[in-house]
Amino acid sequence: MNLSLKHYEAKAREILAKMTPEEKAGLCSGSDFWHTKDVERLGVRRVMVTDGPHGLRKQAGESDHLGINESVPATCFPTAATTACSFDADLLREVGEALGEECLQEGVAVVLGPGANIKRSPLCGRNFEYFSEDPYLAGVMAASLVAGVQSKGVGTSLKHYAVNNQEARRMVIDAIVDERALREIYLAGFEMAVKQAQPWTLMCSYNRINGEYGSQNRKTLTEILRDEWGFEGAVMTDWGAIVDRVKGLEAGLDLEMPYAGPANDAAIIAAFREGSLSGEVLDRATLRILCLLLAAADTAKPGYRYDAAAHHRLARKAAAESAVLLKNEGAMLPLIPGGKIAVTGAFAETPRYQGAGSSRITPIKLDNLCDVLAGRGINFAYAPGYDLESDAPDAILLDEAAAAAKNADLALVCVGLPDAYESEGFDRDHLRIPESHVALLERVAAVNPNTVALLFCGSAVEMPWAGKAKAILLLYLGGEAGAEAAADLLYGDVNPSGKLAETFPLKLEDNPSYANFPGGDKTVEYRESMYVGYRYYDKAGADVLFPFGHGLSYTSFAYRDLSLSESGGIVTASVKVKNTGGKAGAESAQFYVSRKSPSVFSPVRELKGFKKLYLEPGEEKTAVITLDRRAFAWYSVEKKDWVVDAGEYSVAAAVSSRDIRCEAAITLEGEKKRKAAEPAEYLKPGIPFVVSKESFEELYGRTLPPASRLPGEPLTANSTLAEFGKTQTGAEVLAGMKQQMTGSGGDGTFDRMFDRMFGEMPLRALGMFSQGALGPEQIQNLLAAANAEKKE
């Protein structure tokens, strides 16, 4: 069951005809932090929405959008950064179905996810919540998760639409991106999910997109989303993303969340009464929300109970199938039972299994590696090796770990990124893991050559220490059953089959966005254009640590007989894959498309399909995919449409973007190629990738706006709290806010989140966080006082 909201349109229209303008305006905003409004006299009931891209974060008591206050226990599945590495759409659907079941039990109508944003930079603090640097992979995974959730009669909210690729100044930054990159990279995953799965809702992003805020961007919300893609659902804001409520309504925004006081509802009514807002626009938004509420009421199942044990098993399966074996020198893994091992690293006892911020789940059952190994009867000695609260190496802890490793046949070292390193609300400053983790690995490896590194993180890290470990198993953030999955993999109960959904660069400076991330005070320029991730590294011929799509196995696979056929504009590609090793395993055959003589600057190859095959030793199967015209197309800014050049194309079957096993050519009909003059930096990207302002401006097609605030510029409602806080008025307000928020809970990660995230919020956001206690009039008064100080 994946109900279309259109199914409820006739009934919704009947209700709409009976509603007053005030009721219509009221329905266009929430009633509190997590609920919509109702229309009691007409039998329209409010519904609950809640966070949860990888698990349900339903708050039964105090509400927040930062993961501070308690939420009801729920299954914590692996994060999107993890499950994307499964390259298994069926697995994502299965996880989505489980999420839908948990929503049914908890009376949740819409789960706020998944996130389909592109990993432009590995520094983005929220990358753990996103799937990939590749839009095709992100789109397939997002569509599958959406379909799974909605098959249970529960809605999703595809987010954060669009071009939200950093946490720094996320509520005010203007993402300046050229049209080709916008269409081919940053919108393509959303497009796939919308067209294939029709999420009930879509969540707009905080940021500006080429000058206009996502919450009132008519181009993205109406012209592209609805007119081009055929989106049928309702568009809601991210929490506090409203800038101008009436302008947002006219642009295609339907539902404002959360409730931020009566001011915006009153603004809608005032605009309607004076004629500046048409009744048609108001009716359109109200109708979409009514369809959503009717669908939720129709599919609700009071008294429903899900199988928590089954969901935990699924979380374990998802974590195991998503882990990536990066290195396995001398077939170090799988481990042979027997002998004594040393387990080092505090993550073995206190696991890093999910991200921080609004997606933080309270797990039903949380495993740790020490308990799991003990339950298996493994003979091991444990030493924490580092202090979770400090980056500095601890000599005593290191000595204890070295002693344990020296007396063991093999040493496991658990390292990675602590919560304080990556979270919603702030970006990372570098790609290093803590010094204390590196020191532990080096110390252990010095006394025990049989060292295996277990890596826990939500995004790519630098690994100058990689040579110290004979094997590296990347577990990302594996959810509540991640430790059980790790043991399954270590001892060969499960054969690793994960493939990297993002490139791991040798160093941060190699990343194509490095010179332009996170941008200035006002704008961030996407000068690398479509050269994101492997699209850049492969085009420039840059060395990487581990390429996109990389992942080892305990067995081996051979590819042969790649064939292509074309019929009715659809190309069918098939390749035979054989398990040539001695263990059963799974292989994700990746299909990349290349243009032989492109008429515009283009990557060397782009992922356009994949198929995961499960093979017994000696077994051979055929991986088959279909490629439509879009798989061979590029977006023409001039034509405002997708174009397929006439000529020869190559389709490759590969085990990574750098490891091509078979390749075949096909000639397609299309438009005659016409070479256009393009900036030289994009024809042959350099190492490092530096694009001049003039070249990017030429590609962008218009004058670039100022990157930073001008001297003497007055404060506005869109000025950040940090700017506001430089005045005495602002300093007093912020001090009170921090005291109030700190009093509600939190830890060191929260303190950093507050300092970075709140400081970069616009002044208008105070309306949301005060639940309307600070309305537009009070905020304008604060601004007047602050600006008066600046003039003195």
Write a three-state SS string for 178-200: CHHHHHHHHCHHHHHHHHHHCCC
Q: Model confidence over 628-673: pLDDT tens digits? A: 999 999 999 999 999 999 999 999 999 999 999 999 999 999 998 7
CB-facing half-sphere around the CA of 455: CA atoms within 13 A: 25
- Dist. CA 324–CA 498, nearest whole Å: 4
Residue 635 has φ and ψ, to the nearest 5°, of: -90, 120
- Dist. CA 287–CA 270, nearest whole Å: 20
- Sign, CA torsion 23/25/27/29: negative
Tell me which residue of 100, 507, 77, 70 sits closest to 322, measured CA to CA: 77
CA angle, 131 as apex, 319 and 3 as ends, to 5°?
A: 95
Amino acid making up residue 279? G
pLDDT at 753: 64
- Dist. CA 739–CA 221, nearest whole Å: 38
- Dist. CA 792–CA 186, nearest whole Å: 45
- Dist. CA 715–CA 208, nearest whole Å: 18
pTM assigned to the model: 0.96
Contacts of 788 (CB under 8 A, 6+ apart): none
* Residue 237 CB coordination number (10 Å): 27
Q: Model confidence over 670-717: pLDDT tens digits? A: 998 777 789 999 999 999 999 999 999 999 999 999 999 888 889 999
- Dist. CA 629–CA 642, nearest whole Å: 9
Contacts of 207 (CB under 8 A, 6+ apart): 163, 164, 170, 171, 172, 173, 174, 175, 213, 214
What does the block give as tokens for 296? 């939720």
Tell me which residue of 741, 724, 740 sits closest to 782, measured CA to CA: 724
Angle between helices 435-447 and 395-406 (to 10 degrees): 30
What does the block give as tokens for 536? 């850049």
Q: What is the DSSP letter of 668?
A: E
Contacts of 640 (CB under 8 A, 6+ apart): none
- Bridge partner list, 504: 546
What does the block give as tokens for 587? 């292989």
> 452 and 471 in contact (C-beta within 8 Å)?
yes
Percent of the chain with pLDDT over 90: 87
What does the block give as tokens for 309? 């044990």
Contacts of 603 (CB under 8 A, 6+ apart): 530, 531, 534, 535, 536, 538, 539
What does the block give as tokens for 728? 């005495």
Q: Is 134 a catalytic residue?
A: no
Write a three-state SS string for 19-71: CCHHHHHHHCEECCCCEECCEHHHCECCCEEEECCCCCECCCCCCCCCCCCCC
| Residue pointed to by tokens 């709409």 | 16
pLDDT at 243: 95
From the first residue on, what is the mean pLDDT of each consecutive set of 10 residues in the chain (792 residues)? 88 98 98 96 97 90 64 96 98 98 98 98 97 98 98 98 96 97 98 98 98 98 98 97 97 96 95 97 98 98 98 98 98 95 98 90 96 97 97 98 98 97 93 98 98 98 98 98 98 98 98 97 97 98 98 98 96 98 98 94 98 98 98 96 96 98 97 83 96 97 93 90 91 79 56 72 81 81 89 65
Residue 626 has φ and ψ, to the nearest 5°, of: -120, 145
Tell me which residue of 453, 458, 585 sits closest to 130, measured CA to CA: 458
Catalytic residue among 134, 174, 178, 238: 238
What does the block give as tokens for 561? 């007989």
> 551 and 497 in contact (C-beta within 8 Å)?
yes
- Dist. CA 323–CA 474, nearest whole Å: 6
- Bridge partner list, 663: 652
DSSP letter for each residue of 243-270: S-HHHHHHHT--BB-S---SHHHHHHHH
| Residue pointed to by tokens 């308990």 | 371
Integer CA distances (angstroms), 10 to 13, 41, 302, 304, 523, in order: 5, 19, 25, 29, 44
pLDDT at 790: 72
Angle between helices 308-322 and 482-490 (to 10 degrees): 50
Query: Long-range CB contacts (< 8 A, 24+ apart) of 297-305?
Result: 297/45, 297/47, 298/3, 298/8, 298/153, 299/1, 299/3, 299/152, 299/153, 299/154, 300/104, 300/107, 300/109, 300/153, 301/104, 301/153, 302/107, 304/101, 304/104, 304/105, 305/105
Q: What is the DSSP letter of 412?
A: E
Amino acid making up residue 576? K
